[in-house]
Structure 1
Amino acid sequence: MNFSTPVMQQDDNAIQRNDMTHWLEKFFNMTFFSKCSVHQYLQKNELKRYCITCDVSACIHCISSKLHDGHDILTIYRHVYQEAVPLSQLENHIDCSKIQTYKCNQNWVISLKPLPHTGSGALIQGDGACRVCKRKLTKPNDEFWFCSIACKFQPISRRRNRAQIGSQATSSQTRAVATQDHVSTSQMGVAAVEAQASTSQVERKRSRKGVPRRANS
């Protein structure tokens, strides 16, 4: 997938600032709106909350318990069959600039992942499209670049992971070279000791030939 220069520049800046927080990648793969297994016999037990502190999805009964007192909690909405988060909550934790906002239950929300390919999620080419997945934006270029949180941050995550893999590969190569140098040095040392021992044996043999013998009387 090819990204535009501004997006690539943003990725580089975000990687340097470490904007891709550890919990966000897990948040992308979390399941919501299923029944809470802990409170399965209570009403309103859908998993519509996310605890950043604990990295778990939760229902309102989980959140009301003392287990999550003082924790960072996000409310999860459904917008066009996709999970969405209130902008007012999420902007306290990540940079939400340039992400498309939507109105849902009187709240401005941003979608966790790209919307379906219908209606506001239709694909287009050229101006007015999400710079990653090409879905249509309501206010492109001047205000929005991305249709969802995933489109803004997952490319950053992939590029950061590639950078980490490259760094690890370089580190492994450095260790391999250092190990080879150590082995070569050790082999040279052993060869030198063997050569010295061989020279000493030759010298001892030569010295025996010159020992005078006592004459018989």
Structure 2
Amino acid sequence: MPRELVSIKGTREGLVILLDSTREFEDIKLHLKRKMESSRGFFRGARFAVYGQAITGRQRSELENICRQYGLIPSPEISWPLEKKVEQIKTVLPGEPARLVQGTLRSGQEIRHQGNVVIIGNIHPGARVVATGSVIIMGCCRGTVQAGAEGNTAATITALKLQAACLSIAGITASPAAIPRSSLFPITARLKGGRIIFDSYRHKAIYPAF
């Protein structure tokens, strides 16, 4: 049985819109519009997230805008089993369980996990990681990282090279200008006094994020 271009699933958190990303993007857009039109008003006010393999950030925004026209509310924190073609294995680190992702995340790819995440690779601009725990990047982070996504103020973000486009912990976002991008040593971002600060492992310096 052929896979449906666009399917809508209901979860406790909201709606999940699943895409068959092997099909042409224009066909996916048209099919989504038809689904929204055929159920006009039914989904109004519902929270939703879009999932599909290899869709870009721009394409995701286009699909979200279509749904907005019918009264839906984008909520990227809604979780769903990932369909990304990124090699993933589970492991247990001393003290706490974590999800280990081996491979670089490219634009449009996304990792969501209830707990800690360790990435052995880089995070490119346009890629996103959302975790309820801490995030460790064994590489260069130039994408979006959200740690402590459900309000865990003890969560941290650590990267060998931190050049994140957007970085937040427990809903508090750091100004991109405050991130110490020129550091030659690993940086950890954490919350202190209601703001994000950055610790350099080499010099134990603290960079405040205003």
Q: What range is the shorter-chain TM-score in?
A: under 0.3
Higher RCO, 1 vs 2 (CA within 8 Å, ≥6 residues apart): 1
User: Could you say which structure has the higher strand fraction?
Assistant: 2
- State TM-score, norm by structure 2: 0.24
User: Could you say which structure has the higher helix fraction?
Assistant: 1
- State TM-score, norm by structure 1: 0.24
